[in-house]
Chain A
Amino acid sequence: MKPPATRTGFDVAVIGGGLVGSALSFGLARAGQRVVLLDEGDAAVRASRANFALVWVQSKGLGLPEYAGWTIRSSNAWGEFAALLKSETGLDVGFERPGGFHLALSEAELERRALQLKRLHNQPGIVTYETEIVDRKRLELSLSGLGRDVVGGSFCPLDGHCNSLRLHHALHTALFNRGVRYLASHKVEDIAYNAGEFALRTGQRELRAGKIVIAAGNASMQLAPLVGLVAPMKPNRGQIIVTERVQPFLRHPIVTLRQTDEGTIMIGDSQLDGIDPDEVTMPIISVMAARAIRMFPILARLNVVRTWSGIRVMTHDGFPIYDQSETCPGAFLVCCHSGVTLAANHAFTLASMISRGRLDADSVGVFSARRFDVR
């Protein structure tokens, strides 16, 4: 199928100005495309402003082994991605990859963790990478101030983290520098496809583009059917606690706990089905704080400066959806939970496929939403 011809307007309109849409726009602009990036207004539910900022590999891929390989590819490309953003914008997004830990607070938790990793790595076809169950002694070599309840955990050298707000800032700065048109308060209300061109109706105006990318987080569920695609989503709510800034004491990110480049400690990783972003649930954050203090007792003496809750972008099975429309050629769908971890893949690999007008079935075909069809 040949890519739709460009007539007027833009080569590609990206719907969604979060980390996924921004990283794709950056990659598309680098590939020489004329890009317009359409974003909602300030009242939008913005997962990219609420996330935990891990660049995370361990645990990923149970149920879809290719997801592990895709994640590792992005983790490995992240250093180059961060360096590129630095050179284009002068902004340091604080990427580090010292390796990350899961911590277990009882022998039973450690056994569950070991079983989980075994199931993950026993899947046929999964890429081989280093994740190991470690005992208390091994933890003490890397982590100081561990609470006495910590019995062990797991370690993966490919895990890291960044400053995700600065990542968002750097991407938007790079887009501005490259002449990408960014339109805030342009919620897309309708999409029409006619003879190789898309017309997008927003509250403000109508825009035309030869290709579109739906990267609208959970709202992709409503937009995808307009161009013959499906995005089955199951959003959930996560909460985060942030402490005052303290001198660095935690060199490695823990899946539920990390120290940011600017000194705050973030405690996170709750999952609730409710999706009201204005609500923070006290019992949940109490449990999160109590577990964090058992891991690192010195946290008990720190002041909490903020808590917030955010809505995770989550597909039905938790894996990314990358798709292209058969009925409206040139319409793409990019929808995933891990907008930070996968940012490097989105900017480099996926954006260049979209610029060429076709997703490469060999490398990302497995992420099509056709996997949800009854077969």
Chain B
Amino acid sequence: MREELIWLDDEAPRRPSAVQAALAFLGALALLFLATLRGLVWGRKEWRETLHQMAFIGVTSVPIVVLTSAFTGAVITLYSASLLVRVGGASFVGGATGLALARELAPILTGIMVTARCGSAIAAQLGTMKITEQIDALRALAVSPIQYLVVPRLIAGLVMFPLLGTVANLAGVLGGAVVTSAFDIGLSTYLRSIQLFVEPFDFLGGLIKTVAFAMIIIMVSCQQGLGARGGAAGVGHATMRAVVLSMVLVFAANYFLADALFAKR
């Protein structure tokens, strides 16, 4: 496998057509993913860098995930309560919020927030390292950039995304609970409704989604960063592409995962 194709893009045509560009992107992403898997299984693990990335991707993302999920949980409860209370369905409100959060909103919000926060930062950092020859310096010191930079980020993403998804679920439920008081729905009714309608698999399926999103976001951001060229504009371009491509792929994957996990339930 031509591993250096991932960061040596000199052989690519300067003005590729849309099809060429899409194929080149998918090819580079697949190569990087395979090389990362190999590094994940057989390579030397950079535990210090992995812990650092876990803190960055996971711990420091908690506030933004909590805030966005709490408000989203609140607004879903607002809509569902205003509708359901009118038809005497107050006991369904918690279920509606819980299901929406567990299956869709918590995973997708985690994906969006981490893409915006960490995907962009990963692409910018790796892109800057590429154009300032730090990637070459790693290679010159006989250290694989994939092993040192990509594998720790992927491990961190795979571990922290489900945890963030869980935090998003809790925050969303809490946000919804605050709103229920305005509709005279008791907290116990709200929580019992969640218990009744949300099955463990709804929650688990949502977490499976976050694992898939972690893979997409980390791999796309690393690939775009390592493929950056030019100067500051090149890094900006790579960062923008990392965010746009990650988001599009996350939403596409979300549909197919929803179909696979929940459509028959």
Question: A and B from one assembly?
Answer: no
Chain A residues proximal to chain B, CB less than 8 Å: none
Chain B residues proximal to chain A, CB less than 8 Å: none
